[in-house]
Amino acid sequence: MRGSSPARVATLACAVLLAGAAVFLMPWPRDAIADDLEDDFQKDEAKQRKERYTNWMRDFSKDTTLHVTMPGEEDETLAERVPNPIFRFNTKAIADDGTLWIWTRDARPVALQKEEVCNYGGARLWTICFASVSEGLVTARWPGGRRYAATQPGVTYRPIPGAESPSDKAKTRTAQMKALKGRFSGLIGQLSADEEGAMRVKAITTPLYEYADKDSKLPLGAIFSMVEDKGEMNPGLLLILEARPDGKGKSRWEYGVVRLGMGQFLLRLDDQEVWRSDAVTSPSHQVHDNWTFYFIPRKFE
């Protein structure tokens, strides 16, 4: 350092050392580090918990056996389970985690099963909600030996007034279904005259499940969940749209309704009530004509 005295050099060196020491001695942001570690721990715990829930629900649905007897048939047929859940959800009120599974016969859906992690009121339970969506009679057998036999068909289809005939073009037919579902709306909850205590629902944008005719490969039908605008996604009220024979050699669009819950449900078409189902008043009243639900203790967290 040209022109610098030894004293000045020593002063500068000392300043540099003091500055370095000050940086070294600054307190570390221990709270921030602890928060990051806690976040990482919670994320890892949540991931492991979700994996445990996923494995249990997958195994339980895999070990659920379904048979269906269609009208005019004497022998029952084994229904096929779709390997993966068609929907996964959680809700603010009841289900911390849940999946929806479907079984089919000749491409058409015959039954739905909702499996929920229920911690409501401090409980540690699984809630199993099963519903037939078949025009035949469905029987089910679950792990542990529990059985159920529907005494009525799961769905009654009705024509949609004013709907165009199903197109013979796949894209157009899919567009028709999406347009038709917009004509439906519903209520879930307290169906009083003023509707103040009810939750208003509409069909979800993307169907939970779509299926096609096994011969023509044309889109045949779709299942839509009726959900709340504010994000309540638990599939309790389901709308099915399907291209069906009209008895005159042609086809027409028809709709069916399915419940998957204990609440009171109402469905409207063009703002006119077309279907209503009363609430289940007691959790012990579990077996119904074409659907059922029950609880299983959950042995892990």
CA-CA distance, 54 to 100, in Å (whole number)?
Answer: 12
Q: What is the DSSP string of 39-87?
A: HHHHHHHHHHHHHHHHHHHHHHHHT-EEEEE-TT-SS-EEPEEPSS-SE
CA-CA distance, 138 to 293, in Å (whole number)?
Answer: 15
Whole-angstrom Cα Rg for the chain: 29
Percent of the chain with pLDDT over 70: 84
Using pLDDT thresholds of 50, 70 and 90, give the confidence band for residue 199: confident
Percent of the chain with pLDDT over 90: 64
pTM for the predicted model, two decimal places: 0.84
**pLDDT > 60? residue 57:** yes
**Residues sharing a CB contact under 8 Å with residue 243, sequence separation 6 or more, in sequence order:** 166, 173, 218, 219, 220, 221, 251, 252, 253, 254
CA-CA distance, 175 to 166, in Å (whole number)?
Answer: 10
Cβ(66)–Cβ(139) under 8 Å? yes
- pLDDT for the residue numbered 13: 45
81 vs 1, higher pLDDT: 81
Task: Give pLDDT tens digits for 71-88.
Answer: 999 899 999 999 999 999
**pLDDT > 50? residue 129:** yes
Residue 168: CA atoms inside 13 Å, Cβ hemisphere, count?
1
Using pLDDT thresholds of 50, 70 and 90, give the confidence band for residue 22: very low
Q: Mean pLDDT, to the nearest integer, of 260-280? A: 94
Using pLDDT thresholds of 50, 70 and 90, give the confidence band for residue 281: confident
230 vs 91, higher pLDDT: 91
Residue 237 CA: distances (Å) to CA of 114, 187, 189, 275:
12, 9, 11, 11
**pLDDT > 90? residue 113:** yes
2 vs 167, higher pLDDT: 167
Residue 265: CA atoms inside 13 Å, Cβ hemisphere, count?
24
**pLDDT > 50? residue 19:** no
CA-CA distance, 241 to 40, in Å (whole number)?
Answer: 44
Task: Give pLDDT tens digits for 163-197.
Answer: 999 999 999 999 999 999 999 999 988 777 666 77
